[in-house]
Amino acid sequence: MAIGAHPTGTPVPLRRSPGAVAKFLRSGDWWRHLLLIIVCIFLFIPMALTIVISTKTISQFNVAPLSVTFPMHWDNYVTAGQFVAHYIFNSIIISGVTCLGVLLVGSLTAYVFARFTFPGKTFMYQGILVLLMIPPILTLVPAFLLVKNLNLLNTWGALILPYMAFGLAFAIFILRTFYEGMPEELFEAARIDGASELTVFFRIAAPLSKSILGVVAVLNILGTWNNYVWPLVTIQSDNLFPLALGLTAYRQAYYTLWGPLMAGYVIGTIPLIILFAFTSKLFVDGLSGGALKL
């Protein structure tokens, strides 16, 4: 605010910069800020509460369950970490392998659908789109029987392969649109230089689609990371549990030991916080930029 101008044109003394504050009050922004801050407080209360309780001993919790108490017992995190760490490791492997598989197979498939014509293409592509309409709950029971017949029960294969199949449809849908938008000249030039189709894909198409692959990867990881029911029915061994399942096992073991329990919940949230810290801009821009509507 360099020069505060009165509506009538009379210059206003700049000393106390009345323009900014008055404008702010008149615009009605102050009550919007107020409401939004209240919403944010409610949004973050559960997590804040969890962090507050995670530093309490049992006696501190019994005296003051909801307020911050001193001294803070960070050793709860050590107790919880010993329990939760290997679930996190398991989840990183499971979600990571799934994500890599989906990116590799999905981008190759999307590329073929986007850039070539061949008999049966439309039919095959629509066959993939139909899968987007089938909710995972419909297939919960038969998929369990299938995995059981394939002798995959209680292995990570029972998680990773169905996760990949489930993630593929969406990945192909997003990536195909992207590859279709790439200029044909890029590919023509490479082909005339004698590059094989696979070389064209790996050396030109894939590197140019890094950002969209990133979006697909994040969405895929969010989906598999939070899945609870599928591992619940297919995995029995505690040492193979992914995080979501491990946390409920941890709850059963530490019920009423609220301090270490809440510390475990906080630790369980950290990996996604790290992922999100690096990708939230990507995510927010992606959802806001594209005009999503029906």
Q: Which residues in the 230-249 window bind another protein by CB under 8 A?
A: 233, 243-244, 247-248
Cα angle 292-161-117, degrees, rounded to a multiple of 5: 60
Among 22, 226, 238, 253, binds another protein (CB under 8 A): 226
Q: Give the Cα separation of 17 and 128 in Å (integer).
A: 61
Nearer to another protein, 3 or 292 (CB): 292
Rounded to a whole number of angstroms, the minimum distance from the CB of residue 223 to another protein is: 11
Q: Decide if residue 253 touches another protein (CB under 8 A).
A: no
Count of residues that interact with another protein, criterion CB under 8 A = 97
Q: Decide if residue 27 touches another protein (CB under 8 A).
A: yes
Among 12, 72, 105, 174, binds another protein (CB under 8 A): 105
Nearer to another protein, 212 or 264 (CB): 264
Q: Decide if residue 22 touches another protein (CB under 8 A).
A: no
Rounded to a whole number of angstroms, the minimum distance from the CB of residue 10 to another protein is: 23
Encoding tokens for residue 182?
Answer: 């790439």
Q: Which residues in the 159-178 window bind another protein by CB under 8 A?
A: 161-162, 164-166, 168-169, 172
> CA of 210: how far to CAs of 84, 179, 203, 250, in Å?
33, 12, 12, 38
Specify the stretch interacting with another protein by CB under 8 A; choose among 2-10, 42-50, 68-76, 202-210. 42-50
Residues 6+ apart with CB under 8 A from 167: 98, 99, 102, 106, 220, 223, 224
Q: Decide if residue 63 touches another protein (CB under 8 A).
A: no
Specify the stretch interacting with another protein by CB under 8 A; choose among 60-68, 92-100, 175-183, 209-217. 60-68
Q: Decide if residue 272 touches another protein (CB under 8 A).
A: yes
Specify the stretch interacting with another protein by CB under 8 A; choose among 11-19, 71-79, 156-164, 173-181. 156-164
Nearer to another protein, 10 or 222 (CB): 222
Q: Give the Cα separation of 174 and 224 in Å (integer).
A: 18
Specify the stretch interacting with another protein by CB under 8 A; choose among 69-77, 173-181, 205-213, 280-288. 280-288
